[in-house]
Amino acid sequence: MKHVDVPVLICGGGGCGLGLSILLADLGVQSLALERHAQTTDHPRAHILNTRTLEIFRQHGLADEVYRQGTPTAGMERISFRTSLGGDGPLDRRLIGNLDGYGGGALKARYEADSACRATNLPLMQLEPLLRQVAEARAPGSTRFHHELLSFEQDDTGVTSHIRDHDAGEAYTVRSRYLIGADGGKTVGRALGAQMAGPRHLRKMVNTYFAGDLSPWIDDDGVLIFYFINPDGRGQWAGGGLVKTGPTRWDRHSESWVFMRELSPDDPEEIDEVNVVTRMRELLRLPESFKPEVRKIGRWDVQGVVARQYRFGRVLLAGDAAHRHPPVSALGLNTAFGDVHNLAWKLALVLNGKAPDALLDTYEAERQPVGARVAEWALHGFRMRSLIDQSIGLAPGQAEANREAFERLYSDTPGGATARAILAEAMNIQRIGPQAHDMEIGYAYERGALVPDGSALPARDPMGGIYHPVTRPGSRLPHAVLSRDGVRVGTHDLVRPGAWTLFCNRASWRSVARAAAKKTDIEIDVVVVGARGDCQDVDGTWARLCEIGAGGAVLARPDTHIAWRSVNSPARPAQALDEAIKAVLKLAS
């Protein structure tokens, strides 16, 4: 039987597994990603890529191509709730409410101040092939499609996995130092008996991916997602959604779309290949002449679960294998990229013998609370959706009463004014979906590969919207625009893949960092910010955000989270930095 040896085996060639494959390749770590399907996904699924993901992509040279293929800001400024797209009845084509999202509309200035990267939208069926291509280009032979991991066992030194090559019809084994379950929860976690906390089977959803010209009925090119609440809808949940999926036009002329529909438990008719078009026309009030080409129907269950454990010895979980939740704030794949950004540099240091295996414990310590918070958050967002129906006064399955409720909503009566005022409040709460800016970029680690400095936990916006930049250890490095040799450069652009970056205001840190880097054999770049430093603080943003005084320093990890800071000049800088790095890397002091 054939046998392969590789330091890291990745089970799953979805966004998470392919993302990890690229990040590891950039850090010089050999890995092998296995995908049981012959090809990348043929369904759009995940599509919104948030600011944080684009920061990770930018650090790894992926952002330009993702922006080139993805939705420009003008095509994703807001979400919109409507009664229908077509129809000419008194309740057709009525606006229920609009909400800015993803850094568009009124959010623009705030999002731009917080990051050099804007969000974009690129359906998974376009993103995965791109990631696969990049993974193969950077490390030829690092992905194997149509190869399935069947089982595995681990011992003190590694993991032995049993693989089926479906093309050749052969079995082989892989011996790896670590196995990463990036399999969407299908294989590795189940085999380990990983416990998932949280509710499942909350709703059944059907997504229909189709090609068709909806331009005659679309009046707003800036809407990324339309949601429909139909007065005549049958069943308990009458709503549905429509997302544009390009691939080349991101306005009303988008060539393809995804229609999302909830399956109502009290709706006797299952949505299937035969009736989906009729059901879509019915909800959107489109004429018979609208004949979409259905390309794929996907079914999924709404759940909100997180693995209690992310690490099981030499096996670690990432992405949907570790957390699965409603896509209300689009945090699924985006959180997966956060997972692998956190994991990749730690694996690299451990495999290169620069840090002990204990460093990998910090992956769980840091990422499990993020996954738990994201799952909890997404459930809040999911539940809040029903407030819209409730504020209008919709009664499950009662078409006539629902029609009257809509008539009241749009009526010039005291009851109508009250309903509209309540609806406005319910709409405002929906911001936790498309305006979850702090959830996207503001997550911070309390313990892990960092040195807490005893400072108080900063206040966070409980509604997940407003991000407050801080340099407290565990936080994301704040974004500021500096000037280097006359060229504008963002703080995140100064953190190279795999390298540590010490931001300071005195050149004396250079020799200190050089000595520390030599001792620990890690790369530390020093950025002296100041009039005669490496970079100038052109508009004073860094001075406002860095939270350090003269002689202080902030050490950013390769994943642009803060590992350590010294607010003022330490008495013995060399000793302080040395001890900090050892503590972060879990090296014996």
Ligand X SMILES: Cc1cc2nc3c(=O)[nH]c(=O)nc-3n(C[C@H](O)[C@H](O)[C@H](O)COP(=O)(O)OP(=O)(O)OC[C@H]3O[C@@H](n4cnc5c(N)ncnc54)[C@H](O)[C@@H]3O)c2cc1C
Binding footprint of ligand X on the chain (CB under 6 A): 11-17, 34-37, 45-48, 124, 148-149, 182-184, 186-187, 207, 300, 319-320, 327, 330-334, 336
> Which CB atom, from 244 or from 565, has the smaller least distance to ligand X?
244
Contact indicator for 44, 245 with CB cutoff of 8 Å: yes
Q: How far is the CB of 190 from ligand X (least distance, A)?
A: 9
> Which CB atom, from 185 or from 552, has the smaller least distance to ligand X?
185
Contact indicator for 115, 51 with CB cutoff of 8 Å: yes
Q: How far is the CB of 382 from ligand X (least distance, A)?
A: 12
> Which CB atom, from 37 or from 296, has the smaller least distance to ligand X?
37
Q: How far is the CB of 60 from ligand X (least distance, A)?
A: 17
For residue 77, CA distances in Å to 105, 250, 327, 465, 584 come to 6, 11, 18, 16, 40
Contact indicator for 232, 403 with CB cutoff of 8 Å: yes
Contact indicator for 465, 431 with CB cutoff of 8 Å: yes
> Which CB atom, from 187 or from 566, has the smaller least distance to ligand X?
187
Burial of 195 from C-beta contacts in 10 A (0-12 / 13-18 / 19+): exposed
How many CB atoms are located within 10 Å of the residue 116 CB? 19
Q: How far is the CB of 462 from ligand X (least distance, A)?
A: 22
> Which CB atom, from 378 or from 555, has the smaller least distance to ligand X?
378
What does the radius of gyration of the chain's CA atoms come to, in whole angstroms? 25
Longest alpha-carbon distance in the chain: 79
Burial of 323 from C-beta contacts in 10 A (0-12 / 13-18 / 19+): buried
Total count of residues recorded for the chain:
589
For residue 533, CA distances in Å to 8, 173, 502 come to 40, 53, 13
Q: How far is the CB of 240 from ligand X (least distance, A)?
A: 12
Helix 15-26 × helix 124-138 angle, to 10°? 30
| Spatial distance between the Cα atoms of 95 and 88, rounded to a whole number of angstroms | 14
- Side-chain-side CA neighbours of 461 within 13 Å: the count stands at 17
> Which CB atom, from 40 or from 505, has the smaller least distance to ligand X?
40
> Which CB atom, from 306 or from 535, has the smaller least distance to ligand X?
306
Q: How far is the CB of 522 from ligand X (least distance, A)?
A: 29
Q: How far is the CB of 124 from ligand X (least distance, A)?
A: 6
Q: How far is the CB of 324 from ligand X (least distance, A)?
A: 7
3-state class (DSSP) for residue 552: coil
> Which CB atom, from 164 or from 510, has the smaller least distance to ligand X?
164
Helix or strand run (H / E) with residue 74: none
Q: How far is the CB of 186 from ligand X (least distance, A)?
A: 4
Contacts of 253 by beta carbon, 8 Å cutoff, 6+ apart:
213, 215
> Which CB atom, from 16 or from 419, has the smaller least distance to ligand X?
16
Report DSSP state, residue 492: G
> Which CB atom, from 159 or from 182, has the smaller least distance to ligand X?
182
Q: How far is the CB of 296 from ligand X (least distance, A)?
A: 12
Q: How far is the CB of 151 from ligand X (least distance, A)?
A: 9
Burial of 589 from C-beta contacts in 10 A (0-12 / 13-18 / 19+): exposed
> Which CB atom, from 183 or from 559, has the smaller least distance to ligand X?
183
Q: What angle do CA 217, 219, 224 make, to 5 degrees?
A: 100
| Spatial distance between the Cα atoms of 66 and 384, rounded to a whole number of angstroms | 31
